[in-house]
Amino acid sequence: MIKIHILQTGMVSVDIGVPLAQPNPLAKTGWFRSEKHRVRLPVRAYLIEHPKGLILIDTGWDIAQRAHSVKKHFGFLPISYGDLPAGMAINEQLASLGYHPSDIDAVFLTHMDMDHAGGLQLVKEAKHIYASDLEIRDAQKIQYFYRYHKENWQNIPLQAFSFESSGIGPVGCSYDIFHDGSFVLVSTPGHSHGLFSAVITGAEGYVIICGDTGYMPKSWEELWLPGLTVDRKAAKRSLQWLQHKSKDEHCIAILATHDPAVQPKVIDIQEDIK
Ligand SMILES: [Zn+2]
């Protein structure tokens, strides 16, 4: 059995222009926008109990978020406010399932935005911690200072993986974790260059963990681009791929990190015995 635990790792309060692109270019920064444009969305992480390994996807916020934080983490850009109530830090969520970070075989970051990489210090005892080489490259770049926070991975043995040309996904690139097709990280760029959507396949179908490729079903149904993109054309192609998958009868669920309609729960899928 493959078990996908949908974990709650806090909330994020963002301008509506962040999840959903709007004509107002200032929406992204939050400047000159009133509170009524803000929406409060969940921040999810996912623990997957797979017969071949215990995998964590994303880590939510840094625990410093609990104290307060907006200024500390976001400087002068009121782009997103984080909130991490007691019990919701990634290590606390793991503990509630009976796991210690050292039990985790590998952490994979869908991308390195601070609401996904923020909890890295809390799980640094995991056996391996990975992000795509494209994402690690961008996270060093000064022009993306407003979204990546290097304290998140300071002193962390972060390893790079590279997408391989496979013909899978919107750009034909993916990374197969177990080399058997059961857990494939599909490159879905647009919101960031190194972003992936994880496709976890069992006997009866597959579940997609899409990170911020889309924010909610409307994103892929209507091709609503994320407000924050590094490549709008790529973002659209990635959403078209999700849309195509969403209509496939074998697609059990598409889980977006900030989709308010998806509650914490466990999805069980029968392993595909080959
Ligand atoms: Zn996010």
Q: Rounded to whole angstroms, what are the CA distances from 250 to 25, 120, 205?
A: 38, 33, 4
Determine if residue 86 is left, alpha or beta; phi over 0 gives left, psi from -120 to 50 gives alpha, anything else beta. Answer: beta
Q: What is the pLDDT of residue 68?
A: 52
Q: What is the pLDDT of residue 75?
A: 44
Q: What is the pLDDT of residue 211?
A: 97
Q: What is the pLDDT of residue 66?
A: 67
Q: Which residues of the chain have pLDDT under 70?
A: 16-37, 65-80, 274
Mean pLDDT of the chain: 89
Is the pTM higher than 0.85? The answer reads yes
Residue 152 structure tokens: 């998140």
Residues whose CB is less than 8 angstroms from the CB of residue 87 and which lie 6 or more positions away in sequence, other chains included: 93, 96
Q: What is the pLDDT of residue 82?
A: 78
User: Alpha-carbon distance 183 to 194, whole Å?
Assistant: 17
Rounded distance from Cα 212 to ligand 1 centre (Å): 5
Q: What is the pLDDT of residue 34?
A: 55
pLDDT digits (tens, 9 = 90+) for 155-177: 999 999 999 999 999 999 999 99
Rounded distance from Cα 237 to ligand 1 centre (Å): 19
Rounded distance from Cα 274 to ligand 1 centre (Å): 35
Q: Which domains does the chain have, with CATH numbers?
A: 2-269 (3.60.15.10)
Rounded distance from Cα 44 to ligand 1 centre (Å): 9
